[in-house]
Homo-oligomer: A and B are copies of this chain.
Amino acid sequence: MSATARVVAISGGIGGAKLALGLYRALPADSLMVACNTGDDFEHLGLSISPDLDTVLYTLAGIANPDTGWGRAGETWTFMQALESLGGETWFRLGDADLATHVERTCRLAAGEKLSAISEDFCTRLGVRARVVPMSDEPVRTMVHTDEGILPFQRYFVQNRCEPRVTGFSFHGAGDAHPSLPLWEALLADRLEAVVICPSNPFISIDPILAVPGLRGAIGDCGAPVVAVSPIIGGRAVKGPTAKMMAELGIPRSARAVAEHYEGLLTGFVLDESDEGAVGDLPCLTTRILMETEEDKTTLARQVLDFAGAIADKVR
Protein backbone atom coordinates (compact mmCIF):
# COMPACT_ATOMS: atom_id res chain seq x y z
CA MET A 1 0.00 0.00 0.00
CA SER A 2 2.83 2.42 0.58
CA ALA A 3 4.34 2.01 -2.90
CA THR A 4 4.84 5.34 -4.61
CA ALA A 5 2.18 5.95 -7.23
CA ARG A 6 2.97 5.92 -10.93
CA VAL A 7 -0.19 7.85 -11.65
CA VAL A 8 -1.96 10.45 -9.52
CA ALA A 9 -5.60 11.08 -10.34
CA ILE A 10 -7.16 14.30 -9.05
CA SER A 11 -10.82 13.67 -8.46
CA GLY A 12 -14.13 14.82 -7.09
CA GLY A 13 -17.01 12.38 -6.63
CA ILE A 14 -19.17 10.54 -9.13
CA GLY A 15 -17.72 11.59 -12.53
CA GLY A 16 -14.16 11.49 -11.29
CA ALA A 17 -14.66 8.11 -9.64
CA LYS A 18 -15.63 6.59 -12.99
CA LEU A 19 -12.31 7.44 -14.58
CA ALA A 20 -10.48 6.60 -11.33
CA LEU A 21 -11.98 3.12 -11.57
CA GLY A 22 -10.86 2.86 -15.18
CA LEU A 23 -7.31 3.88 -14.20
CA TYR A 24 -7.38 1.41 -11.29
CA ARG A 25 -8.23 -1.41 -13.70
CA ALA A 26 -5.89 -0.25 -16.46
CA LEU A 27 -2.84 0.03 -14.19
CA PRO A 28 -0.97 -2.65 -12.24
CA ALA A 29 -1.93 -2.94 -8.56
CA ASP A 30 -0.34 -0.38 -6.20
CA SER A 31 0.35 2.06 -9.07
CA LEU A 32 -2.50 4.52 -8.59
CA MET A 33 -3.15 7.29 -6.12
CA VAL A 34 -6.46 9.11 -6.19
CA ALA A 35 -6.27 12.50 -4.47
CA CYS A 36 -9.79 13.54 -3.58
CA ASN A 37 -11.50 16.83 -3.01
CA THR A 38 -12.45 17.36 0.62
CA GLY A 39 -14.10 20.74 0.08
CA ASP A 40 -17.45 18.88 0.17
CA ASP A 41 -16.67 17.45 3.59
CA PHE A 42 -18.84 18.51 6.46
CA GLU A 43 -19.88 17.72 9.99
CA HIS A 44 -23.38 16.35 10.24
CA LEU A 45 -25.07 14.70 13.21
CA GLY A 46 -21.70 15.01 14.93
CA LEU A 47 -20.05 12.89 12.23
CA SER A 48 -17.21 13.83 9.87
CA ILE A 49 -18.47 13.09 6.39
CA SER A 50 -16.18 13.01 3.31
CA PRO A 51 -18.45 12.39 0.33
CA ASP A 52 -15.83 12.37 -2.44
CA LEU A 53 -13.33 10.21 -0.57
CA ASP A 54 -16.12 7.73 0.13
CA THR A 55 -17.47 7.70 -3.41
CA VAL A 56 -14.01 6.92 -4.79
CA LEU A 57 -13.30 4.35 -2.04
CA TYR A 58 -16.63 2.57 -2.54
CA THR A 59 -16.21 2.69 -6.33
CA LEU A 60 -12.73 1.14 -6.31
CA ALA A 61 -13.83 -1.42 -3.69
CA GLY A 62 -16.71 -2.46 -5.93
CA ILE A 63 -19.32 -1.65 -3.29
CA ALA A 64 -20.66 1.64 -4.66
CA ASN A 65 -24.34 2.00 -5.40
CA PRO A 66 -24.51 1.98 -9.20
CA ASP A 67 -27.93 3.65 -9.28
CA THR A 68 -27.26 6.73 -7.18
CA GLY A 69 -23.53 7.24 -7.77
CA TRP A 70 -23.14 7.82 -4.02
CA GLY A 71 -23.44 5.53 -1.04
CA ARG A 72 -23.13 1.77 -0.95
CA ALA A 73 -24.80 -1.01 -2.93
CA GLY A 74 -27.32 -3.21 -1.10
CA GLU A 75 -27.72 -0.55 1.55
CA THR A 76 -30.35 -0.64 4.32
CA TRP A 77 -32.03 2.47 5.76
CA THR A 78 -33.13 1.45 9.26
CA PHE A 79 -31.06 4.18 10.94
CA MET A 80 -32.61 6.93 8.85
CA GLN A 81 -36.15 5.77 9.61
CA ALA A 82 -35.42 5.59 13.34
CA LEU A 83 -33.73 8.99 13.26
CA GLU A 84 -36.79 10.50 11.63
CA SER A 85 -39.04 9.09 14.35
CA LEU A 86 -36.84 10.83 16.94
CA GLY A 87 -37.05 14.17 15.15
CA GLY A 88 -33.47 14.08 13.83
CA GLU A 89 -32.24 15.78 10.66
CA THR A 90 -32.87 13.58 7.63
CA TRP A 91 -32.14 15.86 4.66
CA PHE A 92 -28.76 14.20 4.16
CA ARG A 93 -29.38 10.48 3.56
CA LEU A 94 -27.06 8.13 5.43
CA GLY A 95 -27.39 4.40 4.84
CA ASP A 96 -26.67 1.93 7.62
CA ALA A 97 -23.44 0.56 6.10
CA ASP A 98 -22.26 3.99 4.92
CA LEU A 99 -22.76 5.22 8.48
CA ALA A 100 -20.05 2.86 9.70
CA THR A 101 -17.53 4.73 7.54
CA HIS A 102 -18.50 8.06 9.10
CA VAL A 103 -18.64 6.80 12.69
CA GLU A 104 -15.29 5.01 12.40
CA ARG A 105 -13.64 7.97 10.68
CA THR A 106 -15.00 10.44 13.25
CA CYS A 107 -13.80 8.20 16.05
CA ARG A 108 -10.28 7.90 14.63
CA LEU A 109 -10.03 11.62 13.87
CA ALA A 110 -11.00 12.33 17.49
CA ALA A 111 -8.21 9.96 18.57
CA GLY A 112 -5.75 12.09 16.58
CA GLU A 113 -5.33 9.96 13.46
CA LYS A 114 -4.91 11.89 10.19
CA LEU A 115 -7.64 11.73 7.54
CA SER A 116 -5.09 10.51 5.00
CA ALA A 117 -3.99 7.62 7.26
CA ILE A 118 -7.60 6.67 7.93
CA SER A 119 -8.43 6.79 4.21
CA GLU A 120 -5.46 4.59 3.30
CA ASP A 121 -6.38 2.12 6.04
CA PHE A 122 -9.96 1.95 4.76
CA CYS A 123 -8.53 1.08 1.32
CA THR A 124 -6.52 -1.76 2.82
CA ARG A 125 -9.49 -3.02 4.85
CA LEU A 126 -11.71 -3.05 1.79
CA GLY A 127 -9.08 -4.69 -0.40
CA VAL A 128 -8.41 -1.68 -2.63
CA ARG A 129 -4.86 -1.79 -4.02
CA ALA A 130 -4.75 1.90 -4.82
CA ARG A 131 -4.20 4.77 -2.43
CA VAL A 132 -7.24 6.99 -1.99
CA VAL A 133 -6.19 10.09 -0.07
CA PRO A 134 -7.55 13.53 0.73
CA MET A 135 -6.03 16.62 -0.85
CA SER A 136 -5.27 17.82 2.69
CA ASP A 137 -5.53 16.55 6.25
CA GLU A 138 -6.77 19.95 7.34
CA PRO A 139 -10.37 21.07 6.85
CA VAL A 140 -11.17 23.03 3.69
CA ARG A 141 -14.82 23.92 3.19
CA THR A 142 -16.27 24.98 -0.15
CA MET A 143 -18.69 27.89 0.20
CA VAL A 144 -21.01 28.57 -2.70
CA HIS A 145 -21.75 32.23 -3.31
CA THR A 146 -25.28 32.54 -4.67
CA ASP A 147 -28.06 35.01 -5.19
CA GLU A 148 -29.48 33.61 -1.93
CA GLY A 149 -26.27 34.28 0.00
CA ILE A 150 -23.19 32.24 0.79
CA LEU A 151 -24.11 28.60 1.36
CA PRO A 152 -21.98 25.78 2.78
CA PHE A 153 -21.56 23.25 0.00
CA GLN A 154 -23.93 20.51 1.17
CA ARG A 155 -26.65 23.05 1.92
CA TYR A 156 -26.36 24.26 -1.67
CA PHE A 157 -25.89 20.84 -3.22
CA VAL A 158 -28.24 18.55 -1.31
CA GLN A 159 -30.63 20.70 0.65
CA ASN A 160 -31.16 23.32 -2.08
CA ARG A 161 -30.62 20.88 -4.97
CA CYS A 162 -28.21 23.35 -6.72
CA GLU A 163 -31.12 25.68 -7.41
CA PRO A 164 -29.69 29.04 -6.23
CA ARG A 165 -27.87 31.02 -8.92
CA VAL A 166 -24.12 30.81 -8.46
CA THR A 167 -21.94 33.93 -8.46
CA GLY A 168 -18.65 32.45 -7.20
CA PHE A 169 -16.90 30.20 -4.71
CA SER A 170 -14.59 30.43 -1.75
CA PHE A 171 -12.71 27.72 0.09
CA HIS A 172 -12.73 28.29 3.84
CA GLY A 173 -9.58 27.12 5.52
CA ALA A 174 -7.69 26.58 2.27
CA GLY A 175 -5.18 29.33 3.11
CA ASP A 176 -4.08 27.49 6.24
CA ALA A 177 -4.21 23.99 4.78
CA HIS A 178 -1.28 21.86 3.64
CA PRO A 179 -1.24 19.14 1.01
CA SER A 180 -1.67 15.71 2.59
CA LEU A 181 1.71 14.03 2.99
CA PRO A 182 1.06 11.02 0.71
CA LEU A 183 -0.10 13.30 -2.11
CA TRP A 184 2.86 15.61 -1.63
CA GLU A 185 5.31 12.71 -1.71
CA ALA A 186 3.69 11.23 -4.82
CA LEU A 187 3.96 14.53 -6.69
CA LEU A 188 7.65 14.85 -5.80
CA ALA A 189 8.55 11.25 -6.65
CA ASP A 190 10.69 10.39 -9.68
CA ARG A 191 8.45 7.42 -10.40
CA LEU A 192 5.47 9.60 -11.30
CA GLU A 193 4.37 9.08 -14.92
CA ALA A 194 1.20 11.16 -15.13
CA VAL A 195 -1.21 13.36 -13.26
CA VAL A 196 -4.77 12.92 -14.50
CA ILE A 197 -7.37 15.56 -13.67
CA CYS A 198 -10.58 13.55 -13.78
CA PRO A 199 -13.77 14.77 -15.51
CA SER A 200 -15.01 16.37 -12.29
CA ASN A 201 -16.59 19.77 -11.79
CA PRO A 202 -13.72 22.30 -12.19
CA PHE A 203 -15.23 24.81 -9.75
CA ILE A 204 -16.33 22.68 -6.83
CA SER A 205 -14.29 19.49 -7.22
CA ILE A 206 -10.91 20.45 -8.70
CA ASP A 207 -10.50 24.11 -7.70
CA PRO A 208 -10.67 23.33 -3.94
CA ILE A 209 -7.73 20.96 -4.48
CA LEU A 210 -5.78 23.57 -6.44
CA ALA A 211 -6.57 26.12 -3.70
CA VAL A 212 -4.45 24.25 -1.15
CA PRO A 213 -1.22 26.30 -1.05
CA GLY A 214 1.57 24.52 -2.89
CA LEU A 215 -0.55 21.95 -4.73
CA ARG A 216 -1.05 23.82 -8.00
CA GLY A 217 2.67 24.49 -8.19
CA ALA A 218 3.60 20.94 -7.25
CA ILE A 219 1.31 19.52 -9.92
CA GLY A 220 2.70 21.90 -12.54
CA ASP A 221 6.29 21.12 -11.57
CA CYS A 222 5.91 17.38 -10.98
CA GLY A 223 7.92 16.53 -14.12
CA ALA A 224 5.18 14.26 -15.50
CA PRO A 225 2.50 15.20 -18.00
CA VAL A 226 -0.66 16.70 -16.51
CA VAL A 227 -3.72 15.68 -18.50
CA ALA A 228 -7.28 16.83 -17.83
CA VAL A 229 -10.38 15.07 -19.13
CA SER A 230 -13.32 17.31 -19.97
CA PRO A 231 -16.43 17.00 -17.78
CA ILE A 232 -18.37 18.78 -20.54
CA ILE A 233 -19.60 16.84 -23.60
CA GLY A 234 -21.39 18.74 -26.35
CA GLY A 235 -22.07 21.70 -24.09
CA ARG A 236 -23.60 19.56 -21.32
CA ALA A 237 -22.36 18.00 -18.11
CA VAL A 238 -22.80 14.24 -17.89
CA LYS A 239 -24.05 14.65 -14.34
CA GLY A 240 -24.24 17.44 -11.78
CA PRO A 241 -24.33 21.20 -11.98
CA THR A 242 -21.15 21.94 -14.01
CA ALA A 243 -22.93 23.30 -17.10
CA LYS A 244 -25.49 25.22 -15.02
CA MET A 245 -22.68 26.85 -13.06
CA MET A 246 -20.76 27.80 -16.22
CA ALA A 247 -23.85 29.49 -17.60
CA GLU A 248 -24.47 31.36 -14.34
CA LEU A 249 -20.82 32.45 -14.20
CA GLY A 250 -20.93 33.72 -17.79
CA ILE A 251 -18.46 31.11 -19.04
CA PRO A 252 -19.14 29.34 -22.37
CA ARG A 253 -20.41 25.82 -21.70
CA SER A 254 -17.69 24.11 -23.70
CA ALA A 255 -14.81 21.68 -23.28
CA ARG A 256 -12.48 24.45 -24.48
CA ALA A 257 -13.61 26.71 -21.59
CA VAL A 258 -12.69 23.92 -19.15
CA ALA A 259 -9.21 23.65 -20.68
CA GLU A 260 -8.86 27.43 -20.43
CA HIS A 261 -9.95 27.27 -16.78
CA TYR A 262 -6.91 25.06 -16.14
CA GLU A 263 -4.63 27.39 -18.14
CA GLY A 264 -0.94 27.03 -17.38
CA LEU A 265 -1.39 23.72 -15.57
CA LEU A 266 -1.97 21.24 -18.39
CA THR A 267 0.37 19.32 -20.67
CA GLY A 268 -2.59 17.88 -22.56
CA PHE A 269 -6.38 17.82 -22.71
CA VAL A 270 -8.84 15.06 -23.52
CA LEU A 271 -12.19 16.02 -25.00
CA ASP A 272 -15.10 14.35 -26.68
CA GLU A 273 -15.23 13.75 -30.40
CA SER A 274 -18.44 15.80 -30.52
CA ASP A 275 -16.58 18.90 -29.31
CA GLU A 276 -14.32 21.38 -31.07
CA GLY A 277 -10.71 20.32 -30.94
CA ALA A 278 -8.47 23.34 -30.86
CA VAL A 279 -7.51 24.78 -27.49
CA GLY A 280 -4.66 27.12 -28.43
CA ASP A 281 -1.58 24.99 -29.02
CA LEU A 282 -2.39 22.60 -26.15
CA PRO A 283 -1.98 18.97 -27.25
CA CYS A 284 -5.47 17.43 -27.34
CA LEU A 285 -6.80 13.92 -27.59
CA THR A 286 -10.24 13.79 -29.15
CA THR A 287 -12.06 10.55 -28.43
CA ARG A 288 -15.32 9.18 -27.03
CA ILE A 289 -15.19 10.24 -23.37
CA LEU A 290 -18.72 9.34 -22.21
CA MET A 291 -18.35 6.45 -19.75
CA GLU A 292 -21.53 4.43 -19.89
CA THR A 293 -20.25 0.89 -19.42
CA GLU A 294 -17.53 -0.63 -17.28
CA GLU A 295 -15.54 -1.18 -20.47
CA ASP A 296 -15.83 2.50 -21.39
CA LYS A 297 -14.05 3.44 -18.16
CA THR A 298 -11.07 1.17 -18.76
CA THR A 299 -10.87 2.07 -22.44
CA LEU A 300 -10.83 5.80 -21.73
CA ALA A 301 -8.30 5.30 -18.93
CA ARG A 302 -5.95 3.42 -21.30
CA GLN A 303 -6.32 6.14 -23.93
CA VAL A 304 -5.59 8.86 -21.36
CA LEU A 305 -2.49 7.00 -20.12
CA ASP A 306 -1.26 6.40 -23.68
CA PHE A 307 -1.85 10.04 -24.53
CA ALA A 308 0.07 11.14 -21.42
CA GLY A 309 2.96 8.88 -22.47
CA ALA A 310 2.92 10.31 -25.98
CA ILE A 311 3.19 13.91 -24.78
CA ALA A 312 5.72 13.27 -22.00
CA ASP A 313 8.33 15.18 -24.00
CA LYS A 314 6.17 18.31 -23.86
CA VAL A 315 6.56 18.56 -20.08
CA ARG A 316 8.42 21.64 -18.94
Contact = CB atoms under 8 A, between A and B. Distances in A.
Contact of A97 (B72, B79, B106, B107): B79
Give this chain's copy count. 2
A99 B104 CA distance: 13
Contact of A45 (B72, B103, B122): B103
Nearest to A97: B82
A44 to B, nearest CB: 9
A83 B100 contact: yes
A252 interface: no
Nearest to A88: B104
Contacts of A126: 85-86
A85 B125 contact: yes
Given A45-B103, A86-B104, A104-B83, A97 B78 contact: yes
Contacts of A82: 72, 96-101
A76 interface: yes
A87 interface: yes
Given A79-B79, A81-B97, A86 B46 contact: no
Nearest to A76: B78
A47 interface: yes
Contact of A46 (B79, B85, B101, B110): B110
A103 B88 CA distance: 9
A86 B125 contact: yes
A185 interface: no
Nearest to A98: B82
Interface residues of A, number: 32
A75 interface: yes
Contacts of A107: 45-46, 88
Interface string A110-127: 100000000001100110
A4 B284 CA distance: 77
Contacts of A72: 82
B79 A99 contact: yes
Contacts of A101: 82, 86
Contacts of A85: 100, 125-126
A79 B76 CA distance: 9
Nearest to A100: B82
Given A46-B46, A106-B46, A88 B76 contact: no
Contacts of A96: 76, 78-79, 82, 96, 99
Which 9 pairs, one residue from A and one from B, show the smallest C-beta to C-beta distance? Answer: A82-B100, A78-B96, A82-B97, A83-B100, A96-B96, A76-B78, A88-B104, A79-B96, A46-B107
17 contacts: A46-B106, A46-B107, A78-B96, A79-B97, A79-B99, A79-B100, A81-B97, A85-B100, A85-B126, A86-B100, A86-B101, A86-B122, A87-B121, A88-B100, A88-B103, A88-B104, A99-B99
